[in-house]
Amino acid sequence: MTWSQESINKVEPKAGVFEFYDQYELVIYVASATNVREALQNFYNTSFSQRPCLRQATHFRWEYTDKIENALLNHMIVFKSTSGGAPPECNNQ
Protein backbone atom coordinates (compact mmCIF):
# COMPACT_ATOMS: atom_id res chain seq x y z
CA MET A 1 0.00 0.00 0.00
CA THR A 2 1.05 3.56 -0.56
CA TRP A 3 2.41 5.24 2.57
CA SER A 4 -0.48 7.48 3.60
CA GLN A 5 -2.93 8.08 6.42
CA GLU A 6 -5.69 6.59 4.30
CA SER A 7 -3.73 3.35 3.90
CA ILE A 8 -2.88 3.15 7.60
CA ASN A 9 -6.59 3.44 8.41
CA LYS A 10 -7.15 0.17 6.51
CA VAL A 11 -4.81 -1.74 8.82
CA GLU A 12 -6.48 -3.52 11.71
CA PRO A 13 -5.14 -3.11 15.26
CA LYS A 14 -3.69 -6.63 15.36
CA ALA A 15 -0.30 -8.18 16.00
CA GLY A 16 1.95 -8.73 13.03
CA VAL A 17 4.97 -7.93 10.92
CA PHE A 18 5.35 -5.01 8.54
CA GLU A 19 7.80 -3.91 5.88
CA PHE A 20 8.56 -0.52 4.38
CA TYR A 21 9.60 -0.16 0.74
CA ASP A 22 11.34 2.64 -1.13
CA GLN A 23 10.38 4.10 -4.51
CA TYR A 24 12.09 1.18 -6.26
CA GLU A 25 9.98 -1.35 -4.32
CA LEU A 26 13.03 -2.50 -2.33
CA VAL A 27 12.52 -3.50 1.30
CA ILE A 28 14.21 -0.94 3.53
CA TYR A 29 12.84 -1.97 6.93
CA VAL A 30 11.22 -4.98 8.58
CA ALA A 31 9.65 -4.86 12.04
CA SER A 32 6.96 -6.39 14.21
CA ALA A 33 4.40 -5.00 16.62
CA THR A 34 1.66 -6.20 18.90
CA ASN A 35 -0.54 -3.58 17.20
CA VAL A 36 0.53 -2.96 13.60
CA ARG A 37 -1.84 -0.04 13.05
CA GLU A 38 -0.57 1.74 16.15
CA ALA A 39 3.07 1.21 15.15
CA LEU A 40 2.44 2.54 11.64
CA GLN A 41 0.45 5.48 13.02
CA ASN A 42 3.33 6.37 15.36
CA PHE A 43 5.76 6.40 12.45
CA TYR A 44 3.35 8.56 10.45
CA ASN A 45 2.66 11.02 13.29
CA THR A 46 6.36 11.55 13.99
CA SER A 47 7.46 11.66 10.34
CA PHE A 48 9.99 8.94 11.16
CA SER A 49 11.83 11.22 13.60
CA GLN A 50 13.28 8.19 15.43
CA ARG A 51 14.36 6.52 12.15
CA PRO A 52 15.21 9.19 9.54
CA CYS A 53 16.28 6.47 7.11
CA LEU A 54 12.60 5.55 6.74
CA ARG A 55 11.72 8.93 5.26
CA GLN A 56 12.39 7.36 1.87
CA ALA A 57 9.48 4.94 2.41
CA THR A 58 6.77 5.15 -0.22
CA HIS A 59 4.95 1.87 0.38
CA PHE A 60 4.35 -0.64 3.14
CA ARG A 61 3.03 -4.15 3.55
CA TRP A 62 1.91 -6.05 6.61
CA GLU A 63 0.98 -9.52 7.75
CA TYR A 64 -1.14 -10.31 10.79
CA THR A 65 0.12 -13.08 13.06
CA ASP A 66 0.04 -14.01 16.71
CA LYS A 67 3.54 -15.45 16.39
CA ILE A 68 5.31 -12.17 15.65
CA GLU A 69 8.78 -13.30 16.70
CA ASN A 70 8.71 -16.27 14.31
CA ALA A 71 7.19 -14.20 11.51
CA LEU A 72 9.79 -11.45 11.93
CA LEU A 73 12.58 -14.00 11.87
CA ASN A 74 11.14 -15.56 8.70
CA HIS A 75 10.85 -12.18 6.96
CA MET A 76 14.45 -11.39 7.83
CA ILE A 77 15.67 -14.80 6.64
CA VAL A 78 13.92 -14.33 3.30
CA PHE A 79 15.29 -10.81 2.92
CA LYS A 80 18.83 -11.79 3.81
CA SER A 81 18.75 -14.75 1.43
CA THR A 82 18.01 -12.40 -1.46
CA SER A 83 20.32 -9.57 -0.41
CA GLY A 84 23.64 -11.26 0.19
CA GLY A 85 23.05 -11.72 3.92
CA ALA A 86 22.66 -8.10 4.93
CA PRO A 87 19.61 -6.84 6.84
CA PRO A 88 17.37 -4.16 5.29
CA GLU A 89 19.05 -0.76 5.02
CA CYS A 90 17.05 0.95 7.77
CA ASN A 91 17.24 -1.96 10.21
CA ASN A 92 20.92 -1.09 10.66
CA GLN A 93 20.15 2.31 12.14
Q: Are 47 and 55 within 8 A, CB to CB?
A: yes
How far apart are alpha carbons 29 and 89 in whole angstroms?
7
What average pLDDT score do residues 13-17 get?
98
Share of the chain above pLDDT 70, in %: 100
- The model's pLDDT over 3-14, given as tens digits with 9 standing for 90+, comes to 999 999 999 999
Q: Are 79 and 21 within 8 A, CB to CB?
A: no
Q: How many CA atoms lie within 13 A of 44 on its CB side?
A: 17
Sorted by where each starts, the structural domains of the chain and their CATH numbers stand as 5-92 (3.40.1440.10)
Q: Are 32 and 68 within 8 A, CB to CB?
A: yes
- The model's pLDDT over 40-62, given as tens digits with 9 standing for 90+, comes to 999 999 999 999 999 999 999 99
pLDDT at 89: 93
Q: Are 61 and 21 within 8 A, CB to CB?
A: yes
Task: Please determine, for residue 93, whether its predicted confidence score (pLDDT) is greater than 90.
Answer: no
